[in-house]
Chain A
Amino acid sequence: MAGALEPQAQVNSGSGWLILRDLVLAAVVVILIWLGLGILRSETMLSGLGPFVGKLVQALVALAVGVVGIWALFIVVNSLVEYLPARATNAIRPFVFVLPAIAVVSLYLVFPAVGTIIQSFTEVPEGEGLLYNYAQAFSDPKLLLALRNNAIWLVLAPAGALLIGLTFAGLVDRIKREALAKIFIFLPLCISGAGAAVIWRFVYEWRPPGRPQIGILNAIVTLFGGDPIPWLQEIPTNTLALVVVMIWLQAGFAMVILSAAIKGVPTELVEAARIDGAGEFQTFVRVVLPSIRGSMITVFTTIAIAVLKVFDIVYVTTNGNFDTDVIANRMFNEMFRFRNFGFATALAVILFLAVVPIMVVNVRNLRQQGIGV
């Protein structure tokens, strides 16, 4: 079971000279980082070097500060902690590992999230109750529609991406040019959101019947004698069409994580199944799948959360028209376009709550693996 181990008490032979050395080292690291940040922020310091060299020097300083600096900080702090009495060291050290992350996350996510929750209750018209924004939300038929659409997304997108990613990861595991094959699934991830929007605009392009179709889907439809279909206008085809975009984008994520997991399945296990006479497919289902169950849940969870937060796909294709709206898109519009902070924050909280069941399943899974969460 994880977390059950204790390292042997480290007895640092606490020589004053060593402590001094490490303290000086710590000071030097801090000063260097400080100087580096100064150089990065100063507009004039690098300007004497000319645009090209200046830029390169700036890049090197940035990398030194950002990449080396973060490691130097960890090493220095840890070495200082080890001079403490053994018990104190063991008590404090976990926090050396955990606290930096907690601190950053608190600042960037907890603090705004708490503000969001408070705002969702307090930012109401005068004379209205605390739940005003929520009441508004659940009595808005367009919002209920968005909730329904989110549910459709939630069912189809993670499952679709997982299935494709898993199939592909499993298949390419046994062919020669694995890395090459993976690139094709991975490619969509490399494209910026705006680029992806243009790509799918082209796929779903509709031209009036009788005119040359320039969207590949309608070209195929008309090739077989059908009338071109306005994919993004027809309900409910349009929501499915948007889900396909999400699956297209996320399958690469699923593939990379699951491929790494499949590689992690001990060879001995696979070997043993083979010796027992299991076929290719059977081995995969009976040995590999159970071993990567954790990773599959991870992938599913991650994509499910991404799906709940999805808004850019909808925003640039239909902007929620033709019954395709989703919560996050509505939230964006309320927040940045209509400046209805109360309503927007209430939507954020609703999204937050929608994820709770998914996280419960996750926690349960981690428990089953014997990890005390």
Chain B
Amino acid sequence: MTAETASAGAAPSLANVSQDATRVPGEPKSRSWLVRALVLVIAVAWTVPTAGLLISSLRPEVDVSGTGWWTIFAHPFELTQFTVANYERVLTAEGLFGAFINSLIVTIPATVIPITLAAFAAYGFAWTRFRGRSFLFAIVVGLLVVPLQMSLVPLLRLYGNYDLVGTFVGVWLAHTGFGLPLAIYLLYNYISQLPKDIFESAYIDGATPFTAFTRLVLPLSFPAIASFAIFQFLWVWNDLLVSLVFLGTNPDVAVLTARVSQLVGSRGAAWHLLTAGAFVSMVVPLIVFLALQRFFVRGLLAGSVKG
């Protein structure tokens, strides 16, 4: 491993960060095998349960309950022991495409709206002055602990009065409300740590708080925003409870998780469809994760301060 590619002095700009630039300079070569081995051990330990299920979802039910999933490695190339029937049934299920689009319709705004609100709020709490600032912030963060289940019934009643049940707007706002405290908390912790001098120089250059936010805070907070975006996306994408309660299972609006849980049946008979469904719906979050990974780069802050 050649480690000296990224010199600390030349802060990389967003555009030309390469993989190598993320490595710490001066890494001793002798240790790298140990690091790799440790990484491998943890990764394997974390993946075995999922891998077991993935393999199980490709085996006929009778085999799954008869022998351990690892027994396939005895003859891994005997393709007759596998079946794609579960995936076939999930993928050809009626209304799956619609449910997929519905999931996107729900998830993307339900990720963007809370992040936008939270970034503005975190910035407001961290870098503007107003009466009651500390008090309000403490309340918002304290709301982290309110269990979601407690909110469902009063909200449904409210929604019922305004015809919001079964609408996308209703479920966006619900996810926004439930996700905001954590979003504000996480983004505040990051945004409040930005160096003071960047704001000073920005204001001297005539920036308003609003332009300081859009031109400085947002770009500089990208790692924090990206990581929260990943989670909010995941939670909403995988959520069943909120969407069941606020959207329902009407095919016009039902999301993927609701559709899959319908496939599984009232007594949970078809758990194998559930897992096949889980693996199918996993693809989108993984893409999001990989896409946002790009923003986890070293030196973002340093570069911008100097630039």
A and B part of one assembly: yes
B238 touches A191 (CB 8 A): yes
Give Cα A216 to B56, complex, Å. Answer: 12
B75 beta carbon closer than 8 Å to chain A: no
B76 beta carbon closer than 8 Å to chain A: no
Give Cα A5 to B181, complex, Å. Answer: 25
Q: Contacts A175-B32, A212-B67, A298-B189; is A2 near B127 (CB within 8 Å)?
A: yes
Contact bitstring A98-124, B, C-beta under 8 A = 1, else 0: 101110110111111101100000000
A274 touches B26 (CB 8 A): yes
Interfacial chain B residues near A372, Cβ < 8 Å: 133-134
A182 touches B293 (CB 8 A): yes
Contact bitstring B262-279, A, C-beta under 8 A = 1, else 0: 001000000100110111
Interfacial chain A residues near B65, Cβ < 8 Å: 214
B238 touches A203 (CB 8 A): no
Interfacial chain A residues near B36, Cβ < 8 Å: 175
Q: Which of B66, B154, B189, B285 contacts A190 (CB 8 A)?
A: B285
A107 touches B282 (CB 8 A): no
Interfacial chain A residues near B28, Cβ < 8 Å: 279-280
A373 touches B24 (CB 8 A): no
A138 beta carbon closer than 8 Å to chain B: no
Contact bitstring A330-373, B, C-beta under 8 A = 1, else 0: 01100110000000010010011001000100110010010111
A192 touches B67 (CB 8 A): no
Q: Which label, helix, strand, loop or mixed, suits the secondary structure of the B interface? A: helix
Give Cα A6 to B169, complex, Å. Answer: 37
A144 beta carbon closer than 8 Å to chain B: no
Q: Which of B23, B180, B189 contacts A295 (CB 8 A)?
A: B189
Q: Which of B47, B126, B180 contacts A184 (CB 8 A)?
A: B47
Interfacial chain B residues near A192, Cβ < 8 Å: 238, 240, 257, 278, 281
Give Cα A265 to B24, complex, Å. Answer: 11
B118 beta carbon closer than 8 Å to chain A: yes
Min CB gap B38→A, angstroms: 6
Interfacial chain A residues near B11, Cβ < 8 Å: 267
Contact bitstring A222-248, B, C-beta under 8 A = 1, else 0: 000000000000000000000000001
Q: Contacts A62-B105, A109-B143, A248-B46; is A101 near B128 (CB within 8 Å)?
A: no
Min CB gap A5→B, angstroms: 5
> Can you list 10 A-B pairs with a CB-CB distance of less than 8 A?
A3-B133, A55-B98, A107-B158, A111-B154, A198-B274, A200-B49, A212-B66, A260-B296, A280-B27, A369-B192
In order of increasing CB-CB distance, the 10 nearest A-B pairs are A108-B177, A66-B109, A97-B124, A195-B278, A101-B121, A184-B43, A94-B128, A98-B124, A260-B223, A355-B145
B residues near A (Cβ < 8 Å) are 1, 6, 8, 11, 19, 22-28, 31-32, 35-36, 38-39, 42-44, 46-50, 52-53, 56, 64-70, 97-98, 101, 104-105, 108-110, 112-113, 116-118, 120-121, 123-130, 133-134, 136-151, 153-155, 158, 167-169, 172-174, 176-178, 180-182, 184-186, 189, 192-193, 196, 199-200, 203-204, 206-210, 212-213, 223-224, 226-227, 230-231, 234, 238, 240, 252, 257, 261, 264, 271, 274-275, 277-279, 281-282, 285-286, 289-290, 293, 296-302
A residues near B (Cβ < 8 Å) are 1-8, 10, 37, 40-41, 43, 51-52, 55-56, 58-59, 62-63, 65-67, 70-71, 74, 78, 82, 91, 93-98, 100-102, 104-105, 107-113, 115-116, 164, 167-168, 171-176, 178-179, 181-195, 198-200, 202-203, 212-216, 219, 248, 251, 253, 256-257, 259-260, 263-268, 270-271, 274, 279-280, 294-295, 298, 301-302, 305, 308-309, 328, 331-332, 335-336, 345, 348, 351-352, 355, 359, 362-363, 366, 369, 371-373
